[in-house]
Structure 1
Amino acid sequence: MTRLAPGDRAPDFTLTAHDGSTVALGDLLAGTGRHVVVYFYPAAMTPGCTTQACDFRDSLDALNASGYTVVGVSKDPVDKLAQFAERDGLTFKLLSDPDHSVLEAYGAWGEKTNYGRTSVGVVRSTVVVDPQGVVELAQYNVKATGHVAKLRRDLGLDAAGQ
């Protein structure tokens, strides 16, 4: 598995969102001057992924105000993502990558160990893309709990939002 690092060109993607819209990284960046936080999570509506998604939801206003757009990516089908968004009041786009091609391109698909068992699947990861489409920050094997607060610190955003 090849992981991205700061300075790498972020792979472009076009995926279907939980609301049926089509979302492309290039469109999110095109002339907006915004950064894009792309976070990859194993499965909608599981405890850890719910914690992480709700943390992003709760920090979304501060992230948006600081120039960051958030999207979540999993291999879940669109209908499951729609249920997840509705159930937890998620107000950012959840993107479906059923063939895990984007997950692979971003280094978020591969071998992982959980409770002593090795499997292949989604590696919980976050990649921040700058307005020029270059990787600003890439974090792999992140924890679901506390990740958004750590990400905000790593991006230089204070706890109250800038």
Structure 2
Amino acid sequence: MKKALWMVPVAAVGVAAARKAGSAARGGEDRAGDRWLTVTVNRPEEDVRQDGKLPEPLERLADRIDVRTQPAPGDRGTELAARLKEPAPPEATSVPARLAGQDPRQEVRRALREAKALLETGEVMLPDTPPTTRPTPGGRLVGLLSRRSGGEGVL
């Protein structure tokens, strides 16, 4: 049994290498900076693009992003997708860049999350600051993780 355990990480590395090689063979069209970032909004498509306008958080970025809407599968609202017009360079989409808050896609993710919140509830909910009246180890950890999420709602 112990001999078989080393095969799992080796297989995962092999799969990742094969995907990367396949992407390179297709001309790199699957680069992270080119991907559509998508949220599903629990609203009909006509509510998402009222009078042909984007929701305000996305409107702020309108000159830098492409946006598309389409019905969500199973008649469950609308898929709202956005991506940067100019693909982000690979070094800007790396893990260190994301942790430092320098990934240009973070602003798009934040705008999509805020647009979804505005369309579904009418406001963007933010956590109370500070979450506790005195610093605790747990509070410090929550604060660190909140800062690292870059306002995207994702760690």
Same fold (TM over 0.5): no
Greater relative contact order: 1 or 2 (C-alpha under 8 angstroms, separation 6 or more)? Answer: 1
> Which structure: greater helix fraction?
2
Higher CA-based Rg: 2
Which has more strand, going by share of residues?
Answer: 1
TM-score, normalised to structure 1's length?
0.25
Q: TM-score, normalized by length of structure 2?
A: 0.26
